[in-house]
Amino acid sequence: MIELIPAVDIIDGNLVRLQQGNYSAKTEYSHDPLEVAKQLEGVGIRRLHVVDLDGAKGGHIVNYKTLERIASGTQLIIDFGGGVKSDEDVKIAFDCGAHMITGGSIAVNRPQLFLSWLEKYGPEKIILGADIKDGKIAVSGWMEESDARWQTFLESYVARGVRKIISTDISRDGMMIGPSVELYRDMLLEFPGLHVTASGGVSCMADVEQLDDIGVPDVIIGKAIYEGRITYHEIEEYVSKTNHSLSGC
């Protein structure tokens, strides 16, 4: 069964959500991301997707102290992205408790640096960010669109050892209009050995089930949780059912 990965997007140390990557369309949900992370852990969540939006905009990690608080205050497995643009940024993120790093813009603009991280840390710790707008890869906190089509982009990196990606359909992010099921189906068919994490558009558990049906291994959910469209009770029930299924009981 598909794993649920809540998103914790950070601006000025606070938990926020944007719409379609638009920084001016920001909703703030909590002044204490650690407390939210603890609540999610309490209903059975194992993994968290933490994004430093200040870092994504500024070109270097900014909210590493918030990452450190969440990592030291929970047992959650954290993948971290946003502003990871240098060897020093990677070191800071890992030192502050990230288990995995996601690199998107850096993989477009400085591929050799990204590949050096992949070689040094391995494909289990370095995730490729493939954020898509109109069929092309978006960069710089989604404020710019590259010339790279997602198929060519993924083909190049899969050939070089990438095994995990997080892919967001930007047109759906924060909109709660349903995920891009066809996009992820195409990815899974074209790259059958790739671990694809879906992100963007999820509004309810029925959306999660759609992604599960096509074989997506995990999904990032943000606004639907914080707006109460997917409740903590639903998450707890789903996680319990998943664990029951995995145990074979």
What residues are annotated to the active site? 9, 131
CA–CA distances in Å: residue 158 to residues 127, 188, 219: 11, 13, 20
- For residue 79, give both structure tokens: 């993948």
**CA distances to 60, 110, 113, 215 from 87, in Å:** 11, 12, 8, 34
- Give the separation between CA 207 and CA 179, rounded to whole angstroms: 7
Q: Which residues pair with 17 in a beta bridge?
A: 27
The CA distance from 38 to 42, in Å, is 6
String of DSSP letters for 54-83: HHHHHTS---HHHHHHHHHH---EEEEESS
